[in-house]
Amino acid sequence: MTEVADSPATGKTVADARTIGVVGGGAVGLAAALALRHAVRGRYDVTVYDPALAREPVHEKGRAYALARGSQLMLGVLGVWDRLAGDVEPVTRMRITDSRLGDAVRQPLLSFDEEEAGDGPLAHMVEGDALIAALRDAASEAGIRFVAAGVSNVEASASRPARLTLADGSVHHAALVVAADGRNSPLRRRAGIGWTGRSYGQAGIVATIGHERPHEGVAVQHFLPAGTFAMLPLTGNRSSIVWVEPEDEARFLVTLDSEDIIRAVTRRFGDTLGPLTLLDTPRAFPLAIGVARRFTGERLALVGDAAHIVHPLAGLGLNVGFRDVAALAEAVAANVRLGLDPAGGRVLEAYERARRFDVVSTGAAVDVMNRLFSNDIFPVRIARDLGAGIVDRLPGVKRLLAREAAGLTGAAPRLLRGEGL
């Protein structure tokens, strides 16, 4: 159990500008705390604020993440990856089909294998509770302070430290505040940062499935007219499903009993892995696309879902958040190394510049893919199948796509290349 500090008594002021505050104790928030602790080399303390820190990370049950190669390398530098030994499953191959629900045979339209990634597996799957536990343990060992309280308000200016008012009325100060408080980020709203986005009218159902036969590290993604259905390998004879349906249908499906859900899953996936069993309670999450109009404010940086959200069909959401973390830590390290303010000068401007294009282009690409594959219009179907078939016959293009998904192309931040700051 990770040690969690109590919030100070109501009304007390903690005036320490040698602190960086991270609001949000999910995977991106904890990774941000670790990366910033690494970046400042002991010159600043790091504190994470989140009421959920008082609980074990059961809120992540049923969720799993595909960690790209760049994310794996960063977690290695931050002392997290080795803690996940036994909890990660390498994805050695991905098969993508474009099919209808009743199709008895679904030939792969496009496939990738680990040789095309060039640096090990295409990705590693890890369950959310295991990832959060490893991040918490690493953060605790690194001397990061946990405060199990929410932040109700932040006041900041360029000339003085940010003032954080906690839910119990106590006040903390920080040189830099990182908002990792989710897609409905209260800190983003209070900073007056606008949001551009829309709902897809879809929901993603997540659950863990057991199966009789081994998956052999193969991830399968079926593009169906209602939305994508993915079966992603976990440790043992288990897989994580990400199943996209119209929102009303998804809400209905998660109310079914386990036998009916397994019948629906088998109808979409088939019986290639033998009989299936439901291992946890399915949950549905509304799907949307969105991006903050700015990623920064006075002494404030937005990361992860607080800055942007994307459709889960490409499994990029957490990895894009980790790219935020790596870019922010690199910008902060450059200033702190010179003895300067971690939020001063052009630190936040550099972070914004480093992330804006990647976030917008990634979101747009995933949005186009979702629109292209989530319909059954015959001419569109023919065109997309033809295009995917051509890509499948071009090894160089497939290698580039695999490396792009791994976060290994372009000028990646040092942490994503496995380098310290």
Q: Which two tokens stand for residue 367?
A: 């949005």
Q: Which two tokens stand for residue 229?
A: 């259905």
> Tens digits of per-residue pLDDT, 36-51?
999 999 999 999 999 9
Q: What pLDDT is attached to residue 401?
A: 59
Q: Is the pLDDT of residue 300 over 50?
A: yes
> Tens digits of per-residue pLDDT, 12-25?
444 347 999 999 99
Could you tell me whether strands 13-14 and 171-174 are parallel, antiparallel, or unpaired per DSSP bridges?
Answer: parallel
Question: Residue 147 belongs to what domain range?
Answer: 13-58+129-196+288-374
Whether 212 is covered by a domain: the verdict is no
Average pLDDT over residues 181-189: 96
Burial class of residue 378 (count of CB atoms within 10 Å of its CB; 0-12, 13-18, 19+): exposed
Percent of the residues in the chain that have a pLDDT greater than 70, as a whole number: 81
Q: Is the pLDDT of residue 397 over 50?
A: no
- The secondary structure of the chain, three-state, reads CCCCECCCCCCCEECCCCEEEEECCCHHHHHHHHHHHHHHCCCCEEEEECHHHHCCHHHHCCCEEEECHHHHHHHHHCCCHHHHCCCEEEECEEEEEECCCCCCCCCCCEEEEHHHHCCCCCEEEEEHHHHHHHHHHHHHHCCCEEECCCEEEEEEECCEEEEEEECCCCEEEECEEEECCCCCCHHHHHCCCCEEEEEEEEEEEEEEEEECCCCCCEEEEEEECCEEEEEEEECCCEEEEEEEEEHHHHHHHCCCCHHHHHHHHHHHHCCCCCCEEECCCCEEEEEEEEEECCCEECCEEECHHHCEECCHHHCCHHHHHHHHHHHHHHHHHHHHCCCCCCCCCCHHHHHHHHHHHHHHHHHHHHHHHHHHHCCCCHHHHHHHHHHHHHHHCCHHHHHHHHHHHCCCCCCCCHHHHCCCC
What whole-number distance in Å separates Cα of residue 216 and Cα of residue 91?
A: 9
What whole-number distance in Å separates Cα of residue 203 and Cα of residue 369?
A: 16
Q: What pLDDT is attached to residue 94?
A: 87
In this predicted structure, which of 7-11, 257-261, 283-287, 407-411 has the lowest mean pLDDT? 7-11
pTM: 0.90
Whether 26 is covered by a domain: the verdict is yes
What whole-number distance in Å separates Cα of residue 113 and Cα of residue 93?
A: 4
Whether 293 is covered by a domain: the verdict is yes
Q: Is the pLDDT of residue 377 over 60?
A: no
In this predicted structure, which of 227-231, 343-347, 392-396 has the lowest mean pLDDT? 392-396
Whether 358 is covered by a domain: the verdict is yes
> Tens digits of per-residue pLDDT, 147-157?
999 999 999 98
Q: Is the pLDDT of residue 365 over 90?
A: no
- Among candidate residues 278, 125, 283, the one with its CA nearest the CA of residue 211: 278
Average pLDDT over the chain reads: 86
What whole-number distance in Å separates Cα of residue 147 and Cα of residue 5?
A: 5
- pLDDT level of residue 283 (50, 70, 90 thresholds): very high
CA angle 396, 400, 404 (to 5 degrees): 170
Q: What is the CATH number of the domain that holds 346?
A: 3.50.50.60
- Among candidate residues 302, 291, 298, 286, the one with its CA nearest the CA of residue 186: 302
Q: Which two tokens stand for residue 232?
A: 């992603």
Average pLDDT over residues 68-73: 94
Q: Is the pLDDT of residue 409 over 70?
A: no
The amino acid sitting at 162 is A
Q: What pLDDT is attached to residue 297?
A: 96
In this predicted structure, which of 182-186, 259-263, 317-321, 394-398 has the lowest mean pLDDT? 394-398
- pLDDT level of residue 369 (50, 70, 90 thresholds): confident
Percent of the residues in the chain that have a pLDDT greater than 90, as a whole number: 66
Q: What pLDDT is attached to residue 225?
A: 79
In this predicted structure, which of 57-66, 177-186, 394-403 has the lowest mean pLDDT? 394-403
Average pLDDT over residues 114-139: 88
Q: What pLDDT is attached to residue 405?
A: 59
Burial 225-241 (b: 16+ CB within 10 A, else e): ebbbbbbbbbeebbbbb
Whether 225 is covered by a domain: the verdict is no
The amino acid sitting at 164 is L
Whether 298 is covered by a domain: the verdict is yes
User: What total number of domains does the chain contain?
Assistant: 1
- Among candidate residues 63, 370, 91, the one with its CA nearest the CA of residue 224: 370
- pLDDT level of residue 316 (50, 70, 90 thresholds): confident
- pLDDT level of residue 312 (50, 70, 90 thresholds): confident
Q: What pLDDT is attached to residue 152?
A: 92
- pLDDT level of residue 55 (50, 70, 90 thresholds): confident
Q: What pLDDT is attached to residue 298?
A: 95
What whole-number distance in Å separates Cα of residue 127 and Cα of residue 198?
A: 28
Whether 341 is covered by a domain: the verdict is yes
Whether 300 is covered by a domain: the verdict is yes
Average pLDDT over residues 45-65: 82
> Tens digits of per-residue pLDDT, 327-340?
999 999 999 999 99
> Tens digits of per-residue pLDDT, 237-256?
999 999 999 999 999 999 99
